[in-house]
Amino acid sequence: MSSVIVMQLRYAFRLYPDTGQRIALSRAFGCARVVFNDAVRAREDARKAEQPFPKAGELSTRLITQAKRTAERSWLGEVSAVVLQQSLRDAETAYRNFFASLKGTRKGPKTGPPRFESRKDARQSIRFTANARWNITDSGRLNLPKIGAVKVTWSRTLPTIPTSVTVIKDAAGRYFASFVIDTDPAADATRMPATDRTIGIDLGLTHFAVLSDGTKIDSPRFLRRAEKKLKKAQRELSRTQKGSKNREKARLEVARAHAKVTDARREFHHQLSTRLISENQGIAVEDLSVAGPARTRLAKSVHDAGWSSFVSMLQYKAERYGRTLVKIGRFEPTSQTCSTCGVKDGPKPLDVREWTCAACGTVHDRDHNAAINVKTAAGLAVSACGAPVRPGAFPAQREETGSHGFPTEPRAA
């Protein structure tokens, strides 16, 4: 009996709470933060006393049920109990990730121990699961327990009933509702047009991407274009007095300017990745290391391009829509090898954008040649006899899409 593969995605929509709802949300953010910090403190106290870590059930009883009966924590009863329980789960997950990182069983960079949250943190969030009895009203408002029916701007229809909703307040003071949706990749794959095309992608700074078919996609350079406005806003912020109302206004201006850049970059990545997934059955890309270039004089341009975010979008969309994504090793000499005869011609300085192969005399555009080699190295290229040049491509690895980024879906799929 075959099991149905379920993939989780997030759909984010802008919220517009009124004054009373903003106060209620602020109260909920604060209560969730206090419970999280109490859980971290209880774990740290147990560690210092060389005692076993308290279990989740024990923490729930002590930090929520019993705490509500005390004068110091009686105000915890003013918010939904589900929000407090989810905050404890977040602390539990943070410790689990930390210990997995110490053991080396968790992928990615090392994760530090959970830290205490602050009311001054740029991002505040609370989560409501199905048992919190939240719902979407007939008028299209999001009805949250002990908060009320909040106005939502719906940019599209939710494909299925959400399993949970996270309410987020970002650094720019904007509110969002992020819904978790369970989707079936097999059903989603039928929405994509049938195609046998394959493509190799060379990501860079001169052009954001050059494709193996010769297409060049310019880099929008969102951060570079907004630098003048950002510098002015940051200069105004530096001139204000700490703790003053003017400083908070100036901080919001800086945050909104950065949010505008981030939103524009994300939208560009979504549109391009959706287009590439729609038009191609197989996609090859280099497994780039951003950490190295991010420590050089090219750091600002590297971060402005957002390669990692773009490749992550390609990965989860390939999995969702039944496409194939292949990542080749970052040390593959794609810029040194002639895509015509296969002779390795050696490394070249970055300012060399065009070169001639010494073996066969073919004149190469550096990035186009690299994109062709990326496709060949991934096994997506086909030889004259019709056989793959390398072994077949493998499906993109599955991961819980949408749990770290926000929002994770394009506005128009």
Report how far apart, in Å, the C-alpha atoms of 395 and of each of 87, 100, 322 are: 35, 26, 9
Token pair in block for residue 331: 């040390």
* CB-CB contact of 141 with 154 (8 Å): no
Token pair in block for residue 184: 């079936």
Catalytic residue among 286, 304, 345, 409: 286
* CB-CB contact of 121 with 30 (8 Å): no
Catalytic residue among 90, 304, 367, 409: 367
Where are the alpha helices (H) located in 122-244, listed in sequence order?
A: 185-189, 222-225, 227-238
Catalytic residue among 202, 304, 345, 409: 202
Amino acid 157 reads: T
Question: Catalytic residue at 286?
Answer: yes
**String of DSSP letters for 272-332:** HHHHHHHH-SEEEEE----TTGGGSTTHHHHHHHTHHHHHHHHHHHHHHTT-EEEEE-TTS
Q: Which residue has the tokens 């106290």?
A: 45
Report how far apart, in Å, the C-alpha atoms of 136 and of each of 92, 141, 155, 202 are: 29, 6, 15, 44
**379 φ/ψ angles, rounded to the nearest 5 degrees:** 85, 15
* CB-CB contact of 172 with 257 (8 Å): no
* CB-CB contact of 66 with 13 (8 Å): no
10 Å CB burial of residue 242 (0-12, 13-18, 19+) is exposed
Question: Catalytic residue at 202?
Answer: yes
Report how far apart, in Å, the C-alpha atoms of 237 and of each of 3, 242, 257 are: 55, 9, 13
Token pair in block for residue 55: 């279990």
Report how far apart, in Å, the C-alpha atoms of 222 and of each of 171, 263, 268, 270, 272 are: 19, 10, 10, 15, 15
Q: Catalytic residues, which ones? A: 202, 286, 367
